[in-house]
Chain A
Amino acid sequence: MKKIIAMLLVLVMSVTGLVGCGSSKGNEAGSTSAGSDSDWAYIQDKGKLTVGITLFAPMNYYNEKNKLVGFDTEMAEAVTKKLGIDVEFTEINWDSKEVELSSKNIDCIWNGMCITEERKQNMSISDPYLYNTQAMVMKKSREKEIMKSVKGLTVTAEQGSTGEGKIDGSIADDDTVKVSAQDYFKDANYVASDSMAKALMEVKSGTADVALVDSVCALGMVGEGTDYSDLVINMDNNFGQQEYGIAFRKGSDVTEKVNEAIKELYEDGTVDTIAKKYGLQEMLIK
Chain B
Amino acid sequence: MMATSPMESLSSGFIINIELFFITLLLALPLGLVITFCSMSKFKPLKWLSRTFVWIIRGTPLMLQLFVVLYAPGLLFSMPMNSRFTAAVIAFVINYAAYFSEIYRGGIESVSKGQYEAGQVLGMTKTQIFFKIILLQVIKRIIPPLSNEVITLTKDTSLARIIGLAEIIMCAERFTKQGLIWPLFSTAVFFLVFNGILTILFGWIEKKMDYFRV
Contact = CB atoms under 8 A, between A and B. Distances in A.
A57 B1 CA distance: 8
Interface string A12-34: 00010000001001100110010
Q: Determine the main DSSP class of B at the interface with A.
A: helix
Interface stretch (A95-103, A145-153, A176-184, A268-276): A95-103
A266 interface: no
Given A57-B1, A93-B163, A200 B179 contact: yes
Contact of B162 (A29, A93, A195, A227): A93
Interface string B1-35: 11110000000000000000000000000000000
Interface string A194-223: 011110110010000000000001001111
Contacts of B181: 201, 204, 227
Interface stretch (A59-67, A125-133, A235-243): A59-67
A26 B75 contact: yes
Contacts of B180: 226-227
Contact of A105 (B1, B74, B177, B182): B74
Contacts of A171: none
Interface residues of B, number: 33
Contacts of B125: none
Determine which residue in A61, A197, A217, A221 has the highest number of CB atoms from chain B within 10 A of its CB, and name it.
A197
A11 to B, nearest CB: 7
A222 B179 contact: yes
A198 B178 CA distance: 11
Nearest to A42: B78
Nearest to A204: B181
Interface in B59-79: 67, 70-78
Contact of B173 (A25, A195, A226): A195
Contact of B164 (A62, A92, A103, A197): A92
Contact of A221 (B56, B76, B164, B179): B179
A104 B80 contact: yes
Contact of A201 (B164, B174, B176): B176
Given A93-B164, A195-B173, A102 B179 contact: no
Contacts of A223: 179
Contacts of A201: 176, 181
Contacts of A92: 164
A78 interface: no
Contacts, number: 99
Contacts of B76: 22, 25-26, 29
A121 B177 CA distance: 29
Nearest to B183: A227
Contact of A104 (B56, B78, B174, B176): B78
Contact of B3 (A29, A65, A217): A65
A226 B178 contact: yes
A280 interface: no
Contacts of B78: 29, 33, 104
B105 interface: no
B166 interface: yes
B186 interface: no
B124 interface: no
Contacts of B75: 26, 29-30, 99, 102-103
B71 to A, nearest CB: 4
Contacts of A104: 74, 78, 80
A91 interface: yes
Interface in B155-182: 161-164, 166, 170, 173-174, 176-182
A93 B3 CA distance: 21
Nearest to A217: B177
B133 to A, nearest CB: 35
Contact of B70 (A55, A103, A225): A103
Contact of B161 (A30, A66, A93, A227): A93
A261 to B, nearest CB: 24
B52 interface: yes
Contacts of A30: 75
A281 interface: no
25 contacts: A11-B52, A29-B77, A30-B75, A33-B78, A55-B174, A55-B177, A62-B3, A64-B3, A93-B163, A96-B71, A99-B75, A102-B74, A102-B75, A103-B71, A103-B73, A104-B78, A105-B71, A105-B80, A197-B177, A200-B179, A217-B177, A221-B178, A226-B178, A226-B179, A227-B182
Given A100-B71, A102-B74, A201-B176, 6 more contacts: A55-B177, A62-B4, A96-B162, A197-B177, A226-B179, A227-B179
